[in-house]
Amino acid sequence: MCRHIAYLGPRAALGDVLVTPAHGLVRQSWAPRRQRYGTVNADGFGVGWYAEGDPVPGRYRRSGPVWGDETFADLTRVVHSTALLAAVRDATFAGADGEAAAAPFAEGRLLFSHNGAVRGWPGSLAPLAGALPPGRLLGLEARSDSALIWALVLHRAAGGEAIGRAVAGTVLDVGAAAPGSRLNLLLTDGTTIVATAWGDSLWFLHDPGTRTVVASEPYDDDPSWREVPDRTLLTATRTDVLLTPLEEPTA
């Protein structure tokens, strides 16, 4: 239903990661190779990146298909970064939130994307939503399951949990509240990538000490790509990739 990607590595044009590869994210917006749900990702897109000397990432998001945005083509040609997160969206439900519903969501140094759908949304997550502070709930950027999941992650992090633990705990909570949900989360702070494989495809490409790419699917046919097992938390830097099983919630 969506495709997303995060990159840590040598300084590169955004287009070298998102456009130039034979099966890059832009091509995945209309011709994904491993998407299990939906076929075209034309309901919005976005990219977030980090500029040297600025801890807060920049973002560019729009509500339409990425292939029709000429500004995006120029942006990815001239903007360079050592870290980025980008996504193309196939909306689960029609809505009026426009680009506000397009990933990446952001807070502070963090960029976030969700590939999947919450089963029984919105009622299934009412208990979890009700436990959030009113300010966090009222401050949701969009009326979508992804925006609520992001708020749940941030609430855990604000309570002192490391971001990997906050992501894992949120996935387990949502999985228990809404069994059958697809919860592939992707997050970066510009130095670390945290992701989950939960109901859809997730892959990584790792050149130790050089680059790490985590994506819904490979952007080329390099045999070094590795698939992440389902129900797994991935934590990665430019030097290491750690895979940790996520325990399936039980009734």
Query: Which candidate, 154, 171, 176, 172, places its Cα nearest to that of 163?
Result: 154
Q: Of the residues 2, 47, 178, 215, which is catalytic?
A: 2
The question of whether 2 is a catalytic residue gets the answer: yes
Q: What single-letter DSSP state applies at residue 249?
A: P
Question: Measured at the alpha carbon of residue 86, what is the angle toward residues 148 and 42, in degrees to the nearest 5?
Answer: 80
Largest Cα separation within the chain, whole Å, is 51
The number of C-alpha atoms within 13 Å of 205 and in the hemisphere containing its C-beta is 20
What torsion, rounded to 10 degrees, do the Cα atoms 76, 72, 225, 168 define? 110
| Single-letter residue type at 44 | G
- Cα of 83 vs its chain's centroid, Å: 14
User: Are the C-beta atoms of residues 200 and 216 closer than 8 Å to each other?
Assistant: yes
CA–CA separation, 105 vs 113, rounded Å? 7
CA–CA separation, 61 vs 33, rounded Å? 24
Phi, psi of 233 (to 5 degrees): -100, 125
Residues annotated catalytic, as ranges: 2
